Amino acid sequence: MKLSLMNPIASLEFPAKLLPDCLPTKIPYAFLESGMGEAWLDRSDNQLTGAIRAGDFLLFVGDFQTEFLEGVLQNCQSKELHILPSDSDWWRELSGSGRFKTEIYFRESFDWYSLDQWMFRAAQRKYSKGIEIRPIDPNFASFLLEQEWSRDQISNFESARSFCQYGVGFVVIEGLQPIASIASYLVYKNGVEVQVDTHPQYRGQGLAKALGIRMFQWGLEQGKFVHWDAISGESAGIARTLGLRESRKYECMKLSKQS
């Protein structure tokens, strides 16, 4: 985990000056609270411009600057990025430039603190039987990093060992190998942002629901929140089945870099 600022400032100065009053997702706070990802700040020419990257998510704030944008994108290795909404003209400038392929889509954010305990217990009875679930250890984390279907869950950490030191996750095992996993995509002071994935050959068997149940159990036992931010209707359906209630549906921009 690393912290990178274009102009050195105290990290806690960043949100006070630049973050919008209301964010649809907790993702930027993974950087602010735990130092995951990177941040950039530019105060040149009487302008104040900033960006936070956490995983494949970017939040731009302040005045749009082409040179600043170029510098940020050069530091992002991902070919596809998700640009969070902000109170500035960044979306308009990005979509109108013609230099990127952009698409607006909807995400659904779920409220951990409204978890319906009755629905959660019903899901436990239905989906937890006969499935072998184990915590992610360094060997499992290394395996997941090598698989295309699960790599994103671990890749925000410096290494498999770093994930096991700072993160949390669980896998479904068949034989000796994971076939589905849920993991802390990002880590906050009081909880985690989770991502769940299943090997394509094993989808539709309720494995993601079983893993969600196990992660929720961890959150309840540890007194941590489990933030579920759904990218698709399928992911949102799993969250509802487990007893979560949608707190907000919001727009996000998917940006693909031109090769």
pLDDT, tens only, 62-85: 888 888 888 888 888 888 999 988
| Arithmetic mean of pLDDT, 44-62 | 82
Fold of domain 116-243: Aminopeptidase (3.40.630)
| Arithmetic mean of pLDDT, 48-68 | 85
Rg (CA), the chain: 19
Give the residue, 254 or 64, on which the prediction is more confident. Answer: 254
| Arithmetic mean of pLDDT, 9-35 | 55
Which residues on neighbouring strands pair with residue 59, listed in sequence order?
Answer: 52
Cβ atoms of residues 209 and 182 within 8 Å: no
Tell me the C-alpha distance between 169 and 215, whole Å.
7
pLDDT surpassing 60 at residue 24: no
Which residues on neighbouring strands pair with residue 198, listed in sequence order?
Answer: 180
Write the CB contacts of 7 (distance below 8 Å, at least 6 apart in sequence): 41, 42, 43
Give the residue, 2 or 34, on which the prediction is more confident. Answer: 34
Alpha-helical segments (H) within the chain: 13-18, 27-34, 66-74, 90-96, 117-127, 138-146, 151-154, 160-166, 207-222, 233-241
Q: If pLDDT is split at 50, 70 and 90, which confidence band does 53 have?
A: confident
The pTM assigned to this predicted structure is 0.86
Report the pLDDT value the prediction gives residue 7, as an integer from 0 to 100: 36
Report the pLDDT value the prediction gives residue 27, as an integer from 0 to 100: 63
pLDDT surpassing 80 at residue 16: no
Torsion-angle region of 155 (φ positive above 0: left; ψ -120 to 50: alpha; else: beta): alpha
Report the pLDDT value the prediction gives residue 39, as an integer from 0 to 100: 82
Write the CB contacts of 115 (distance below 8 Å, at least 6 apart in sequence): 216, 242, 243, 244, 245
Report the pLDDT value the prediction gives residue 8, as an integer from 0 to 100: 32
Max CA distance (Å), the chain = 63
In angstroms, the Cα distances linking 30 to 27, 71, 177 are: 6, 22, 30
**Percent of the chain residues topping a pLDDT of 70:** 84
Say which range, 9-13, 121-125, 215-219, has the weakest mean pLDDT.
9-13
| Arithmetic mean of pLDDT, 26-33 | 66
Cβ atoms of residues 166 and 156 within 8 Å: no
Report the pLDDT value the prediction gives residue 131, as an integer from 0 to 100: 93
Buried b (16+ CB within 10 A) or exposed e, 41-71: bbeeeeeebbbbbbbbbbbbbbbbbeebbee
Write the CB contacts of 101 (distance below 8 Å, at least 6 apart in sequence): 255, 256, 258
Report the pLDDT value the prediction gives residue 182, as an integer from 0 to 100: 99
Tell me the C-alpha distance between 114 and 116, whole Å.
6
Report the pLDDT value the prediction gives residue 11, as an integer from 0 to 100: 41
Tell me the C-alpha distance between 116 and 98, whole Å.
45
